[in-house]
Chain A
Amino acid sequence: QPVLTQSSSASASLGSSVKLTCTLSSGHSSYIIAWHQQQPGKAPRYLMKLEGSGSYNKGSGVPDRFSGSSSGADRYLTISNLQSEDEADYYCETWDSNTRVFGGGTKLTVL
């Protein structure tokens, strides 16, 4: 089954950009993933679906500041013009017919 690897933490300054990475395990580099945001004390929120081609589809109400891209087994979430409300945990998710996995999550701190 696939495994997703994320850095445990990241930080960037208010108004700057940050790129978070989710890496698919060997043999699963073509998998589609989804990105979710979890603000402190809240339920997760779906951000986007991201394909290996780099094509992505965002959820309703997700700001234009959020975008996705891909390179090989890596899936990226880029947040530009960082706002204080972007400080959150970010999880990637993938699945196949009988299983679903989440990455360990990246805690983003906005300085």
Chain B
Amino acid sequence: EVQLVQSGAEVKKPGESLKISCKGSGYSFTSYWIGWVRQMPGKGLEWMGIIYPGDSDTRYSPSFQGQVTISADKSISTAYLQWSSLKASDTAMYYCARPGVAGRNEYFQHWGQGTLVTVSS
């Protein structure tokens, strides 16, 4: 069974750094793209970016390019989303998600449970 298990909720102050994680299991981690999606409070889904762990090919939404860094550690089947300096506007739920077909950067079929990030002074 494919599972994407995300790290727990975080409460941070503006200016702090943060790295959240998404661990994949039940499939070949290096063979599937894995992406990140933001959902601000009461709002819709926004695609942030996606990485192919097999070769670290990474694509970003123009809206998030330079604002976050997406990475992956093949040895522990885990993808990451990180910020170097958080802002209050980064407060949101963040989901990782994976397409259904190996090697194909297409629609998401599997979703993580979400990680709530709260940034407040």
Chain A contacts to B: CB under 8 angstroms: 32-34, 36, 38, 43-46, 49, 59, 89, 91, 93-95, 97-105
Q: Check B45–A44 contact: CB distance below 8 A.
A: yes
Q: B25 to nearest A CB, angstroms?
A: 16
Mark out the residues of chain B between 65 and 121 whose CB falls within 8 Å of any chain A CB in the assembled complex: 95, 97, 100, 105-114
Indicate which residue in A34, A43, A45, A104 contacts B107 across the interface (CB closer than 8 Å): A34
Q: What are 10 A-B pairs at a CB distance below 8 A? A: A32-B106, A32-B107, A44-B108, A45-B111, A46-B110, A89-B44, A95-B106, A101-B47, A102-B45, A105-B44
**Number of contacts between A and B (CB, 8 Å)?**
58
How many chain-B residues does the 8 Å CB contact rule pick out? 22
- Cβ A46 vs Cβ B109 within 8 A: yes
A interface secondary structure, majority:
strand
Query: 3 nearest interchain CB pairs?
Result: A34-B107, A100-B47, A102-B45
Q: Is the interface of B mostly helix, strand, loop or mixed?
A: strand
The reply on B28 being an interface residue by CB < 8 A is no
B53 within 8 A of A: no
Which residues of B does A touch, CB under 8 Å? 35, 37, 44-47, 50, 59, 61, 95, 97, 100, 105-114
Contacts of A95 in B (CB 8 A): 105-107
B35, B59, B61, B95: the one within 8 Å of A44 (CB): B95
Question: Beyond A98-B59, A100-B35, is A46–B45 a contact (Cβ under 8 Å)?
Answer: no
Look across to chain B and name the residue whose beta carbon is closest to the beta carbon of A34.
B107
Chain B residues near A104: list those with CB within 8 A.
44
Contact (Cβ within 8 A) B44 A100 = no
Q: Find chain B residues with CB under 8 A from A94 CB.
A: 107
